Amino acid sequence: MAASQDNPTTTTAITEGMRRQFHRDGFLVVPNALETEDVEILRREADCLINYLISENINIMTDYGGIIEPITCGYIDPPVSQMFILSKKSYSHVRDQVPEEPDSVLHILFEKVPAMVNNFLPLESEDDPTCLFNEQYIVKTPDSADISSFEWHQDSQYMDTSAQEAFPVVSCWIALDNVNLKNGTLLVEPFPRPKDATTGNYIDPPTQFQERDTYIRYHKHLASHYVNPPSNKMTAIMKAQHRPSLQPPPPSPSAVGAGSTTGTLPNDPKEWVCESQPPVLVEVPAGSIVFLSGWVRHCSLGNSSSKFRRAFMPQYSAGKVITSTGGMVSLAVPCNEYDEREREWVDPRGRMQSQEDELIDDGDGFGRTDDLEFGDDVEMED
Ligand SMILES: [Fe+2]
């Protein structure tokens, strides 16, 4: 299992330039984003779950596709109540049963990562709180190159269509081992870069979107300009830039001032001409985070090294993701529950009952199966 790897005990502040870079490229790599102590907590939990599955004779790659979901992987009994899908307190209670030691991942899930990912979602409000949408460990076993690579995809394609059109979701892919070309890292294709059709000048994006629909329209439009990715990944790797350079480049001089900070589109996107960007090979130290828009295209490589490659990937949504018919897609756990509402939610004879009415308990431990569009497809496979 993983060797110890040095990781500076610093937490990266997200700057305005990094926010703009995220909306321009559809992703952002932040090296050493987590402190060493937090990386160790996640590694210990990953190892605990890996060892459990091995002890149960479960093949992590062929049986689980490399995806280990802490609550549903079998390590704990299925929750009796469905409230954990909607409530931070209930989720925390269930989630705290997973690790075998006092250190909990909850402060990482609900505080540290949200503090960063909020920079890349529309402005949070009480009506549209930042929610934990999903979480999983993504493990590539040693010498598994032939079965542990994953094809090009966009994470939004795993969501119900109406939900993907309404709710921005950002995946936070956290490297728990140093990742590189050999052990199965990510290859990300940045959004095609828009130019003004008349002047030919690059158009820089806003630093933040206020509304969900404007955010989705912007990201979806840029992604619509993707051309087919190379069918041979080696071709893409040959073209790839290696990125942890990670200082965001300044906006191109021609584009300064073109983007708004308020989320207003600077021009009609239909009039943009978009220029393809070369893929980026993510080679970063453990503790680094790759923030991925649901619309950015990426794939991952196989693990040909002799060690496990571990990653942890929580995903966060702007608002509680529901389908057009009102069903739950996955989790919808607000990272910040407002005090008054929290008190109501935890009263078993009061608000909690009305919240449970939003779900149909079919005994599968995960809400209403007919509206759980993820099912097996929830596995993002990176
Ligand atoms: Fe993915």
Interval between CA 352 and ligand 1 midpoint (Å): 34
pLDDT at 203: 84
Cα distance from N-terminal residue to C-terminal residue, the chain: 19
Q: Which domain holds residue 269?
A: 21-376
Q: Is 97 a domain residue?
A: yes
Q: What is the value of pTM for the model shown?
A: 0.84
| CA distance linking residue 336 with residue 13, whole number of Å | 20
CA 24, 28, 34 angle in degrees (round to 5)?
Answer: 155
Interval between CA 157 and ligand 1 midpoint (Å): 9
Interval between CA 154 and ligand 1 midpoint (Å): 6
Interval between CA 237 and ligand 1 midpoint (Å): 17
| CA distance linking residue 366 with residue 78, whole number of Å | 9
Interval between CA 155 and ligand 1 midpoint (Å): 5
Find, among 30, 16, 28, 29, the residue nearest to 206 by Cα.
16
Contacts of residue 82, Cβ cutoff 8 Å, sequence gap at least 6: 356, 359, 361, 365, 366, 367
142 to 10, 305, 306: CA distances (angstroms): 30, 6, 5
Interval between CA 65 and ligand 1 midpoint (Å): 13
Interval between CA 186 and ligand 1 midpoint (Å): 9
Question: Is residue 282 within 8 Å of 185, Cβ to Cβ?
Answer: yes
Residue 103 has pLDDT above 80, yes or no: no
351 to 214, 326, 341, 361: CA distances (angstroms): 33, 19, 8, 17
Find, among 25, 280, 301, 378, the residue nearest to 144 by Cα.
301
Phi and psi for 210 in degrees, rounded to 5? -85, -35
Interval between CA 98 and ligand 1 midpoint (Å): 24
Question: In whole angstroms, how large is the CA radius of gyration of the chain?
Answer: 20
| CA distance linking residue 1 with residue 38, whole number of Å | 18
Q: Where do we find the tokens 């140093």?
A: 178
Q: Is 313 a domain residue?
A: yes
Q: Mind spelling out the 3-state secondary structure of 144-182?
A: CCCCCCEEEECHHHHCCHHHHCCCCEEEEEEECCCECCC
DSSP string of 100-120? SSS--SHHIIIIIHHHHHGGG
- Higher-confidence residue of 249 and 143: namely 143
- pLDDT grade for 269, boundaries at 50, 70 and 90: low
Q: Is 10 a domain residue?
A: no
Burial class (CB in 10 A: 0-12, 13-18, 19+), 292: buried
- Higher-confidence residue of 174 and 10: namely 174
Count other Cβ atoms within 10 Å, centred on residue 16: 12
Interval between CA 66 and ligand 1 midpoint (Å): 13
Residue 70 has pLDDT above 80, yes or no: yes
Q: Which range is least confidently modeled, 145-149, 249-253, 321-325? A: 249-253
Find, among 60, 7, 15, the residue nearest to 31 by Cα.
7
Interval between CA 380 and ligand 1 midpoint (Å): 5
Interval between CA 268 and ligand 1 midpoint (Å): 29
Interval between CA 299 and ligand 1 midpoint (Å): 7
Interval between CA 7 and ligand 1 midpoint (Å): 25
| CA distance linking residue 57 with residue 74, whole number of Å | 12
Interval between CA 224 and ligand 1 midpoint (Å): 17
Q: Is 361 a domain residue?
A: yes
Interval between CA 344 and ligand 1 midpoint (Å): 36
Q: Is 3 a domain residue?
A: no
Farthest CA pair distance, the chain: 63
Question: Is residue 314 within 8 Å of 201, Cβ to Cβ?
Answer: no
| CA distance linking residue 134 with residue 130, whole number of Å | 12
Residue 185 has pLDDT above 60, yes or no: yes
Q: Is 172 a domain residue?
A: yes
HSE, CB side, 13 Å, CA atoms: give it for residue 82.
21
Interval between CA 356 and ligand 1 midpoint (Å): 31
Interval between CA 139 and ligand 1 midpoint (Å): 13
Interval between CA 255 and ligand 1 midpoint (Å): 30
Interval between CA 319 and ligand 1 midpoint (Å): 20
Q: Is 347 a domain residue?
A: yes
CA 323, 94, 312 angle in degrees (round to 5)?
Answer: 75
Residue 214 has pLDDT above 50, yes or no: yes
Interval between CA 295 and ligand 1 midpoint (Å): 10
Q: Which range is least confidently modeled, 26-30, 54-58, 152-156, 353-357? A: 353-357
Residue 252 has pLDDT above 50, yes or no: no
Structure token digits, residue 87: 């409530």
Residue 238 has pLDDT above 80, yes or no: no
Interval between CA 184 and ligand 1 midpoint (Å): 13
CATH number, domain of 90, equals: 2.60.120.620
Interval between CA 303 and ligand 1 midpoint (Å): 16
Find, among 75, 108, 113, the residue nearest to 94 by Cα.
75
Interval between CA 150 and ligand 1 midpoint (Å): 9
Q: Is 8 a domain residue?
A: no
- pLDDT grade for 139, boundaries at 50, 70 and 90: very high
Q: Highest-confidence range of 3-12, 94-103, 264-273, 296-305, by mean pLDDT? A: 296-305
Structure token digits, residue 103: 């250190």
Interval between CA 311 and ligand 1 midpoint (Å): 12
Residue 163 has pLDDT above 60, yes or no: yes
Interval between CA 355 and ligand 1 midpoint (Å): 31
- The tally of domains found in the chain comes to 1
Question: Mean of the pLDDT values across residues 80-104?
Answer: 86
